[in-house]
Amino acid sequence: MVKRIIVEPLMSDEEIAQYESDYFDSSDFHTIINYDADVYSKTNDGQLKLLLKFRKKVIDKTLTDMALESYRTQAKVKHNNRGAAAGNLDYNKLPKFVRKYQLTNTHKFRTGYIKNGKKSASSLANLAPSNIAGYFDTQGRISTKNGNNVPCRLTSFTSNHSDLWEKSLPFLVRCDELFSLLTPERHYIQWIKANLTPEFNICETAFSTVTLNYSWRTGLHRDQGDFKKGFGNLIVIEDHKNPNTYQGCYTGFPQYGVAVNCRTGDFLAMDVHEWHCNTEFIPKRNKCEERYSKGVKEWHYNRLSIVCYLRDNMLNCRKENITRQDIEDLEQRYQELYY
């Protein structure tokens, strides 16, 4: 039985925005969901807006094991471009090379730096164990020697580890199937747009890109760069090779006081354009084993999280104009695949 939950905002949009990059604990949420549920938020005019749909144990273990083996190593690679999700700026979490330079234009979760008397062209955030797979769109941060933005492309993981990528595809297809079953209207709109650029599409799904995170508690943020009319898809896999089991690390929407305990085999379709974050990790063992990364001691829990979505700017890489026939052909193909 699926429980239907209606939540009202505990803070205004302006109030919640002030907490960007902050952490929220489990005590900040009045509802922790660990069962099949559809959650709707009430808007200012009294209308209901879908916030999330959650289903327990709907992804087979053979598929989650394949995804874990494919993504485990890549998810642990750290990057400094995760912005507010990486939390409030912490000098000890910045890339080591930056620590010898003077920081400049420092804000709550980003900073620039001065090297050889020149200000850096871009800002950076705390390092976070987060990476991407699949395809990625044009980015203003990255440019070619002639100054043009890098076009849509394979991510380095997908290009350099094609065997692992191929191994994970049945898992992603299952996630797409669940997306279509839970939120068909959102899925249809996203699928049509994703398949207008088939060369940057994952196996005829509604996805272009996958974000991989390992043992990472995110600060309050809203996802950027993904398709606004679509929906995010979150899956968690607990790494059986890592003994550091945990409780907590719920995926929460503090503006509404509701959070979800997503674990292996579960599927969460969520509005990633609402403010969200993770609560604290709580070790199930008396002492969580420590891991050293370049001399820095850090906690290392066994949580791999996977987010499947469509990058909004992929369509900019389409070479031909879109015709009515293109749309009709895709509508027919959609019927063949999903009905």
CA pair distance 305, 208, nearest whole angstrom: 17
pLDDT (tens digit per residue) in 115-128: 888 898 889 999 99
DSSP, res 240? T
The number of CA neighbours under 13 Å toward the Cβ of 64 is 21
DSSP, res 115? E
Higher-pLDDT residue of 165, 91? 165
Residue 31: predicted pLDDT: 98
CA pair distance 72, 212, nearest whole angstrom: 9
Mean of the per-residue pLDDT values for the chain? 91
DSSP, res 92? G
- Could you give the residue range(s) of every CATH 3.60.130.30 domain in the chain? 3-80+131-338
254 neighbors 275 (Cβ within 8 angstroms): yes
pLDDT (tens digit per residue) in 23-79: 999 999 999 999 999 999 998 788 999 999 999 999 999 999 999 999 999 999 999
CA pair distance 164, 130, nearest whole angstrom: 17
pLDDT (tens digit per residue) in 187-197: 999 999 999 99
Give the mean pLDDT of 157-186.
97
- Confidence band, pLDDT 50/70/90 cuts, at residue 150: low
Q: Any alpha helices (H) in the chain, and if so which ranges? A: 13-17, 61-75, 156-160, 162-182, 184-194, 324-338
In the predicted model, is pLDDT for residue 148 greater than 90?
A: no
Place of tokens 């990476």: 131
* Residues contacting residue 103 through CB under 8 Å, at least 6 positions apart: 111, 112, 113, 114
In the predicted model, is pLDDT for residue 243 greater than 60?
A: yes
206 neighbors 194 (Cβ within 8 angstroms): yes
Predicted TM-score of the model (pTM): 0.91
Give the mean pLDDT of 282-288.
73
In the predicted model, is pLDDT for residue 99 greater than 80?
A: yes
pLDDT (tens digit per residue) in 196-213: 999 999 999 999 999 999
Residue 143: predicted pLDDT: 40
Residue 115: predicted pLDDT: 87
* Residues contacting residue 184 through CB under 8 Å, at least 6 positions apart: none
CA pair distance 314, 195, nearest whole angstrom: 10
Is the domain 3-80+131-338 a CATH 1.25.40.10 member?
no
Lowest mean pLDDT among 76-85, 137-146, 153-162, 242-251: 137-146
In the predicted model, is pLDDT for residue 138 greater than 90?
A: no
CA pair distance 172, 159, nearest whole angstrom: 17
- Confidence band, pLDDT 50/70/90 cuts, at residue 301: very high
